[in-house]
Chains A and B, each alone.
Chain A
Amino acid sequence: MAAGDTPVGEEARPGRPDDPVGRAPAVRPFLVTAGRVAGARSGPPIPVETQVVTTAAGVTALDGLSFEAHDIVALCRQPQSLAEIAAKLRLHLNVVRVLAEDLRSEGHLSVYVPNADLAQDISVLRRVIDGLRTIPDSRGALRDTD
């Protein structure tokens, strides 16, 4: 149901990762936000890695939601970053910012904005370093003789 309802999601864009512009979507991005743009509020836009999770109220309300709102609330039953929501639903990142804020204020989503100080947090940096060190050289057994 959801997929057929969203013209934006129907755009099959060929994978050209370094294409600086890409194709224009069939629906102008900010039509779905009634012309509102992210960052119009005070303060900087929320970071692209911000985690978004559907609340219990959001799960309950899911069937009553439509279009992008439905798709976002459905997707975020598993935590997603703003960037993942945008990519998976083929929405402009700033459109997702606006809609996520709307859905949060309606109680359908929890939005976990990370603290900017995280980048200087020694324990976080150590955990990332230790975690990366456990990653083996290559996947599978392709190069196990190296």
Chain B
Amino acid sequence: MTPTEPAARGAAAPTAVRPPLPVKMVIAGGFGVGKTTTVGSISEIRPLTTEAAITEVAAGVDDLSHTPHKTTTTVAMDFGCITIDSTLKLYLFGTPGQDRFGFMWDDLVEGALGGLVIVDTRRLDDCYAAVDYFEHKGIPFAVAVNAFDGRVEHALDEVRWALDIAEQVPVFTYDARERGSVRDALLVVLELALARAQG
């Protein structure tokens, strides 16, 4: 039922256009950290917003933790895309992140090539959930410190230490407004994914 390559299910339908193979990367981080700016800097379309359901698991003592089971919340998700060629299209999904909850992003993240966790050094707490999630799922990811106004308030070593990021995870600064900077950040993640795929 789920073909490996887009199957020629439309073979008998001459007007059906053969779609590109879609791949995706996930841009994660706290609210207002620059996810949409990042997507918008490199996307060939203006970022679109859709509402997605995210399953939350109440972590520890919280207002919602009296609910014994997982709860589903609707969140706004921004995304854009880059046409690699006529047969391959890269989607970039900005996933909302909140601390306090362990997010179940599986619905969005399943099958992603990799993730980019965006960090605002003034609010390091906001990205714990994303770092934890990618580590837990074994998805290749890097941590990109968005250097607002070219300043970074913490040294990268301190960010790595504060977030308890494993040595093999790249941590670097970038500028969410610069297309070249975003491109290079995505390439860091993809090179990591390639190295892992090559085993």
Hey, which bits of chain A sit against chain B, CB under 8 A?
A: 15-22, 44-45, 47-57, 59, 77-79, 81, 83-84, 86-88, 92-94, 110, 112-122, 124-129, 131-133, 135-139
CA distance A83 to B47 in the complex (A): 11
Flag whether B67 is at the interface (Cβ < 8 A).
no
Give the CA-CA distance A59 to B17 in the complex, in Å: 12
Interface size class of chain B, counting residues whose CB lies under 8 Å from the partner chain: 35 or more
Evaluate whether A87 and B85 lie within 8 angstroms (CB atoms) in the complex, with A18-B36, A122-B194 already known.
no
Question: Of A83, A118, A122, A136, which contacts B91 at CB under 8 A?
Answer: A83
Contacts of B73 in A (CB 8 A): 20-21
Taking a contact as CB atoms under 8 Å apart, the answer to whether B84 and A19 are in contact is no
- Most chain B CB neighbours (cut-off 10 Å) among A49, A50, A53, A117: A49
Please name 18 pairs of A and B residues whose Cβ atoms are closer than 8 Å in the assembled complex, sorted by A: A44-B106, A49-B111, A53-B16, A54-B16, A83-B79, A87-B50, A92-B74, A93-B51, A93-B53, A94-B52, A112-B6, A116-B111, A124-B21, A124-B88, A128-B190, A129-B194, A131-B90, A135-B82
Question: Considering only CB atoms, which chain B residue lies closest to A39 in the complex?
Answer: B107
Q: How far is the CA of A78 from the CA of B19 in the complex (A)?
A: 8
Is the contact region of chain B dominated by helix, strand, or loop, or is it mixed?
A: mixed
**A87 near B113: Cβ-Cβ < 8 Å:** no
Residues of B within 8 A of A (CB): 1-7, 9-10, 12-24, 31-32, 35-36, 42, 47-53, 73-79, 81-82, 84-85, 88, 90-91, 93-94, 96, 98, 106-108, 110-114, 178-180, 183, 186-187, 190-191, 193-194, 196-198
